[in-house]
Amino acid sequence: MCRKSIKVVLKVFYLCIAMFVISGCSNSNKGTTDSEKNEDVVKVWHWMTDRQEAFEKLANDYFAQTGVKVVFENYAPSDVYRNKITAAASGDMLPDIYNPQSDKKELSSYIKAGYIANLTKEMNTGWKDVFFEKALVSNSFEENNEWRVEPGIYGVPLDVSSLMIYYNKDLFKQAGLDPEKPPKTWKEFISAGNKLREAGIQPFVSGFGEAWLVGAFAMSYQWSLFGKQGIIDTIDGKIPYDDPRWLRIFKLFEEMRDNKMFASGIVTMINKDAERTFATGRAAMAFNGSWGVNVYKAMNSALNYGIMYPPTLEDAKYPLLVFDCGGSSLFVNGNSPRKDKAIAFLRWLTQKEQQTYLAQATLNIPSNKESGQNLPEILKEFSNSISKTFENLPKLEAWQVTNYINLNLQSVIIGEKTVSQAVAEVQSEKVRQMKKR
């Protein structure tokens, strides 16, 4: 999509709200000082409320070292932030640094419009070497990508994250389970769930009311049963969704349901409620991201827990991998007159000293691979899991099909549909989407 085209589309949908959103709704930086109006000020828009204080401290340090002023403006919640970005794009009013919070398809539109700079040249001067390799993957476009974006690195990762299973050691002990030996196989996982339920403890919770989370849990088993090429073949329509391996994945959720593993109301539960359920000891296991370390500390600093990988399938052909959330990243506005200053600041922000401070202040895994030495042990375990996250794919499944997978998994969990019905519906949607190509 050309730059003119994206502007037309964005204006049609958002011009009516642009002035309202851009005026600063939910902005934690009320008002703009004269110095901030100066054209030399680098502006950063973000949604990470819990990091605003740390960002401001680092911005002050950068100003003391370089004389360049950087202003972090926080907009929350995330839907307000996203609307602000979209509205600003419609009027060429984007800041110097931001994140459109979009998938690769939408991200490609911003890139083609010039709203996101290609940072490959800068990254190849040694900058990219400081990062975990996978931290750059979600911000990169490969050769021959389906969106026809020039190959390269477009985003700067601030941290990385993955999804694992947290478990409450005290509740495990209460149910007669070894708190230092969590289940590793699916059989052990179900057995542990039965013991927890017998002890009057809800075994498993997650924010499965947010469909992407139930899909993320399933994806570990998709990789384990299909492997990378099998997933690509499924996207291409060469492997149908009523393949026995997909039936197997759906049956895993059926087995959890039949063994009463799921916490009450799990398919209507947003993740924040699921986090509170685990933090208050009302469930023994929680599928959640590495950000949970910070969340659980705030909710219950005395919580005694460990983490484990999703349980493996004994007959799986491929290694079990875990979902990589990509972490938080920032992009440079390719049209900004302060583009070079914005890049210089992000390069400074992602060096070891600054990354170490951010990690310790916010309890997130730093994207700089040299900055994790002083992390809490739990975060170190998450950091080690980054090497076992999903590989990058040159193409993605149609969002409509992915949505059908996630919604039908929810339906199986509550017994609304059988496994056969669920996979048949997913395959029917896949056929419909293939016909549209």
pLDDT number for residue 76 = 86
Same domain, 131 and 62: yes
**Residue 414 covered by a domain:** yes
Task: Report residue 171: phi and psi, to 5°.
Answer: -70, -35
Considering the domain architecture, whether residues 179 and 216 belong to the same structural domain is answered as yes
**Cα–Cα distance measured from residue 89 to residue 87, given in angstroms and rounded to the nearest whole number:** 5
Residue 387 lies in a domain: no
- pLDDT(361) > 80: yes
Share of the chain above pLDDT 70, in %: 91
Asked whether residue 195 falls in the same domain as residue 281, the answer is yes
**One domain for residues 142 and 104:** yes
Please check whether residue 384 lies inside any domain of the structure: no
Judge if 155 and 168 occupy the same domain: no
Segment 347-363 shows an average pLDDT of 94
Q: What is the pLDDT of residue 17?
A: 39
Residue numbers of the domain that contains 11 = 3-159+327-376
Dist CA 270 CA 162 (whole Å)? 18
Give the residue-averaged pLDDT of 89-107: 92
- Report pLDDT for 38: 54
Q: Give yes or no: residues 74 and 192 share one domain.
A: no
Q: What is the pLDDT of residue 435?
A: 94
pLDDT score of 39: 66
Same domain, 124 and 19: yes
Confidence of residue 49 (pLDDT cuts 50, 70, 90): confident
Half-sphere exposure of 260 (CA within 13 A, CB side): 9
pLDDT of residue 386: 82
- 135 with 191, same domain: the answer is no
Looking at the structure, tell me whether residues 362 and 414 fall in a common domain. no
Task: State mean pLDDT over 391-408.
Answer: 91
Residue 77, domain CATH: 3.40.190.10
Q: The tokens of 46 are what?
A: 């973000």
Across the range 70-99, mean pLDDT stands at 93
- The mean of the pLDDT values for the chain is 89
Residues 127 and 173 in one domain: no
Q: Which positions ≥6 away from 345 have C-beta within 8 Å?
A: 42, 62, 68, 70, 97
Flag whether 92 is in a domain: yes
Residues 39 and 151 in one domain: yes
Q: Does residue 389 sit within a domain?
A: no
- Count of structural domains within the chain: 2
Evaluate whether residue 218 is within a structural domain.
yes
96 and 136 in a single domain? The answer is yes
